[in-house]
Amino acid sequence: MKSPCKTLEKTLGYRFKSKERLLTALTHPSYRNEKGHETCADNQRLEFLGDAVVGLLAAEHLYAHASDMNEGDMTKFRSTITNRSGLARVGTAWGIGGQLRMGRGEEQSGGAAKESNLADAVEAILGAVYEDGGHRAAAKVFAKHFVPRLENRLVQSPDMDNPKGTLQEYTQRVRQTNPEYAILEESGPAHDRVYLAAVTWDGEELARGEGASKRGAEADAARKALARLQDS
C-alpha cells in the first residue's frame, strides 16, 4: 500500500527532497495539540507561506496572460481560485481529506471534509513545495493544478460584482427557473453579526455563503454556486 506521501507526490507531480515537509503540511493543529508540542510541527506556518506563494503565482499568470485586464479584474479573478472555496476544491481533487493528520476530536467532527481544513492544507502543501524546491517547483505544481481552473474562469468570465444576477441568468438559460435564497443562521454580537445563507435551485442546495449582512451572505452563496456549476 502506498504511503500518503507517495500518493500525494504522484498527484502533485512533484517529489519532495524532504518528506517531513509534506507531512508537516498535512498536519492539522489539533494533531499537534493532542500529541504534544515537542512531538511534531503543524501546518500553520507553511499555510502562511503558501498563501503568499499561491497569490504570487496567480498574479504572475494573470499579468502574463491577461494583458487586457485591469488591476481590479485581475484581483477578482485571482480571488476565484485563491479564496477558501477555490482552494478547498483543489484539496478535494487531490484527495487530501483522508490524508490529513488530525486530533481525534477534529476527525470525529468531520474535519477531513471541512472546507477550511482542505483550503489550509492546500496552501500549506504549496508552501512546502516552495520551501523544498523553490519558485520553479511551486510554479510547475501551480501550472498543473491551478492554471486550468483559472483559465476556465477567464473563459466563463462571470460578473463577480453581481453574482446573484449572473447565477439567475444561468439558471434561466438552462431551465427557465430562478434560484432561491434562505438565511439559515445568524450569529455573533449585534455589532458584528455573521449571516449564513443557502441558495437552492429546483430543490437542490447549490452552496452556502457567509457575510456581515443578509445580502452579503446571499452574494457569497451565489458566487460559490457559480464556481460549483462551472466545475461540473
Q: Which residues pair with 211 in a beta bridge?
A: 195
**Dihedrals phi, psi of 27, to nearest 5 degrees:** -100, 110
The SS3 call for residue 146 is coil
The grid coordinates listed for 73 are 479584474
* Of 123, 131, 218, 220, catalytic: 123
**Contact 91/122 with Cβ under 8 angstroms?**
yes
Which of 6, 19, 12 has its CA nearest to residue 132? Answer: 19
Among 120, 130, 126, 129, residue whose Cα is nearest residue 97 = 120
Q: Is 51 a catalytic residue?
A: yes
Active-site annotation holder among 42, 47, 51, 131: 51
Known catalytic residues are 51, 123
